[in-house]
Amino acid sequence: MQEDVKVYWNDAFRLTDEIKTLLLVTDRVASVPYSVFKSFADVAISVYNSAKDAAPGTLTAFGKELSAEESMRIAENFTKYQEFKPEFFPATGPYILAGYDANEMILQKNENWYNKDKVGFSRIRCINSVGDASLMSSMLINGQIDFWLNTPSKPTVDSILAANKNIVFYKVPSPYAHGIKFNMQKSNTLWTDKVREAMQYVFDRDEVRSLACYYAATSYTPMTGMTDTDMGKWMSDAAHDELETKYTYSHDWAKAEALLKEAGWTRRSAKWYDNRGKLVEIVIGYDGSNTVPSTVAEAVQAQLNNFGITASLKRASGYAEFYALATQENSLYDIVCDNTSFNASYNYPSACFNELYNSGVGGTANLKYLKDETLSGFNNEAFKPSDYIDHLLTYDSQTLTHAVDNLIIGMAKMNVGVTMFQEYSGGLFNSAKIAGLPFPEEIEKNHDVQYVPETGSEDHISLLYTILFYDHGSAFYNGRLYPVAN
């Protein structure tokens, strides 16, 4: 039976036709049955009900502004939800759960699914890697697994491809950028304007990239809230040229030293002292459960120490702890190693700015206050980020470009962080078992596929579907990937 559905749009936010289409074609939502997960849902409901209301016009989850303590409670509750093992779970998708333990999960094709003919693999065995890259690479080489969603180090990739000629490695630009962010609670003491500008020249970003994420693309701008590929797509040519000519920084200790001396810093016995005559000692915070920010933190510490700034590491056991420590009043962190951009919408420049001014990316740098500050944008146009943030989905293309130009240039001038690289996400596939892999002509040239499609192109979308992280594994049940015929 087919029924007509009427959709009414909120007149306060008149979305463009493009955004309406994107919303209407979304065929999945992240939902679980309340009857099974009631205890966790109730905790989340209680936290949000007791939280204070967000400021008028601010887009936040359920219209609430969580404190650091409340954010920690939500994160801990979510961790418990993830660890929960229900005795019964209703499932109506392409696969049913045939078994699981701490090490693996078995998925069996659901013969009652409406589109079962598109499901090529009758059985999928999922291995819990627990971050053990050595184990997973060995299993891939020996044919114990056929797909590994990861971007390992180059030596690891090279060894896998040399040992098993059937393995193919793809990579694609990620919606994440990584780097460091200054604790803007200390913008009037430690991180003054001139000091933050000097820090842009201190770091060898390419070295950090090669250590933390070899296949990433090195960035040379301050933290802007947007990845390099997105800036190239959504900024006007004139604004992008200004970014590249005025706000792109090389590794140059001489320029850094000159700017620090302008800021009143002095160097004595190979150590830096700030404008108050105090020895500069930096605490670097990071999520120790994630290898990328962990490696970035170690590289940043080494480079700061070599430059004469004493730096120590403060490891958090997970992101929930890291976020709580970074956002609390009088945070002990001076610098955090974290995302400098995250665009959840991937192909539209809205989510990254929401992350920057309303959520985690800006939160761990304590710069949400900038949303209502007057900044200097492209061509020195004065603007407030709050003038744009909540309306980006309603703008026509010309207005959107104007907003993005100001938001990017305005943030670049602030030097609130240093973007080191745009992450690339990857996947390794056994081509002897999995058919339908894209770009066969590129595989013939090199199993470490060198072709990286332009962002937004048809090839780019094809690769995103193949690297399953971006579409909930749909390539396994929409006919895109299927078993190699015997």
Give 197-223 pLDDT, tens digit per residue.
Answer: 999 999 999 999 999 999 999 999 999
User: Do the beta carbons of residue 233 and residue 455 sit within 8 Å?
Assistant: yes
Asked which of 128, 148, 183 is the last residue of a domain, the reply is 128
Q: Are residues 112 and 183 in the same domain?
A: no
What is residue 343's predicted lDDT score, i.e. its pLDDT?
86
Q: Are residues 214 and 354 in the same domain?
A: yes
Which residue from 67, 297, 299, 335 is spatially nearest to 184, judged by alpha carbons? 335
Q: Are residues 180 and 53 in the same domain?
A: no
Q: Are residues 63 and 102 in the same domain?
A: no
Does the residue 166 lie in any domain? Answer: no
Q: Are residues 404 and 318 in the same domain?
A: yes
Which residue from 305, 360, 358, 364 is spatially nearest to 334, judged by alpha carbons? 364
* Most confident segment among 80-94, 103-117, 428-442: 428-442
Q: Are residues 107 and 178 in the same domain?
A: no
Name which of 328-342, 346-360, 401-415 the model is least confident about: 346-360
Does the residue 53 lie in any domain? Answer: yes
Containing H/E element for 231? helix 228-234
CATH of the domain at 299: 3.10.105.10
What is residue 100's predicted lDDT score, i.e. its pLDDT?
82
Tokens of 97: 């759960």
Strand partners of residue 123 = 108
Which residue from 469, 480, 431, 483 is spatially nearest to 118, judged by alpha carbons? 480
Other C-beta atoms lying within 10 Å of the C-beta of residue 279: 11
What is residue 1's predicted lDDT score, i.e. its pLDDT?
46
Name which of 321-330, 339-348, 379-388, 390-399 the model is least confident about: 339-348
Tokens of 348: 């539209």
What is residue 21's predicted lDDT score, i.e. its pLDDT?
64
pLDDT tens-digit series, residues 232-258: 999 999 999 999 999 999 999 999 999
> What's the distance, CA 62 to chain centroid?
22
Q: Which residue has the tokens 């604790």?
A: 183
Give me the domain span that covers residue 346: 174-422
Q: What is the percentage of the chain residues whose pLDDT exceeds 90?
A: 63
Number of domains forming the structure of the chain: 3
The whole-chain average pLDDT of the chain stands at 89
Average pLDDT estimate for 441-447: 96
Of 113 and 382, which is predicted with more confidence? 382
Which residue from 246, 230, 228 is spatially nearest to 238, judged by alpha carbons? 246
Q: Are residues 249 and 309 in the same domain?
A: yes
Q: How confident is the model at residue 331 (pLDDT cuts 50, 70, 90)?
A: very high
